[in-house]
Amino acid sequence: MRGGLAVLLFTLPAMGQVRVGLQVEHRVVMEGEPVVATVVLQNDSETPLVFNKIYHNATLEVNIRRGRVRGEPIFKTLDRNFVVMPDDSSRELVELTSLSNMQQPGSYQVWAQVRYDGSIYASRPQAFDVVYGIELASRQRHLPGYSDIRLTYSLRYCVRSGSEYVFLVVTDMKRKVSYGTFRLGTLVRVSAPAMDFDESGRMVVAHQSGRHRFTRSVISVHRDGAVFEEQTHHFPDGTPTTSGTGQSPEQASKTP
């Protein structure tokens, strides 16, 4: 268990049979980017907590509210299969965007709760913001094989945890369909980024990601969504760095 999550969970009041903690991965999320949270459960009862669709004595729910104060929350019961033994704890990763539409920029609140033995045990609410970001450049191109679908490739950045990060957001503006939001890494705004399509129709983005480093990212788009194909890092003269080549681990593709 990570230290931050341990602090979040065990600073809660000791009363009750179940303690619940929740931590969102990022407090600032780019439009279309998956929102991930970690739920931590501590069983202080003398009975195992069983979470199962067929048989269970407890249920795990996640509540999402648009806006920090007003608005009716959306309650979602998670279909999970696990057991938390007495005096033990469990961590569950939850992809919040699979539970609720968070395409609209704005402020959100999320909290988790466990229903057990006629009582509800809830975590403290966590707030995060979905942002449009600041656009650096954009290009438009028809979806390959579909002359009636025109996609917008928008290169944007936002500040997260004191650093600037650049994203590529691919959308069908007319139909309001997201094809994917991809985090390309840190951004140094000295040299302007470049966007272009290669001979295969793939989007190629080059941006400055460090004082003496440039990053090249390749994204392909097809009817079922977008794919982050590869990412390489280079020195200013174009030679590759000794590390950081290959497919980006920070990709986030989405099927329209």
| Tens of pLDDT, residues 120-162 | 999 999 999 999 999 999 999 999 889 999 999 999 999 999 9
- Whether 250 is in a domain gets the answer no
Torsion of CA 43, 49, 52, 56, to 10 degrees: -140
Q: Which residues, other chains included, contact 89 with Cβ-Cβ below 8 Å and sequence gap of 6+?
A: 1, 9, 40, 41, 42, 43
- Cα–Cα dist 152/178, whole Å: 10
69/149 same-domain check: no
> CA-CA distance, 217 to 228, in Å (whole number)?
8
Residues 184 and 224 placed together within one structural domain of the fold: yes
Domain assignment of residue 151, given as a range: 133-234
Count how many domains the chain has: 2
Q: Tell me: do 110 and 8 sit in the same domain.
A: yes
Inside any domain, residue 175 = yes
> Does residue 29 share a domain with residue 120?
yes
Indicate the pairing of strand 126-131 with strand 28-30: parallel
Task: Give the model confidence (pLDDT) of 33-72 as tens digits.
Answer: 999 999 999 999 999 999 999 999 999 999 999 876 666 7
pTM above 0.75, yes or no: yes
Pair 161, 227 in one domain:
yes
How far apart are alpha carbons 93 and 37 in whole angstroms?
6
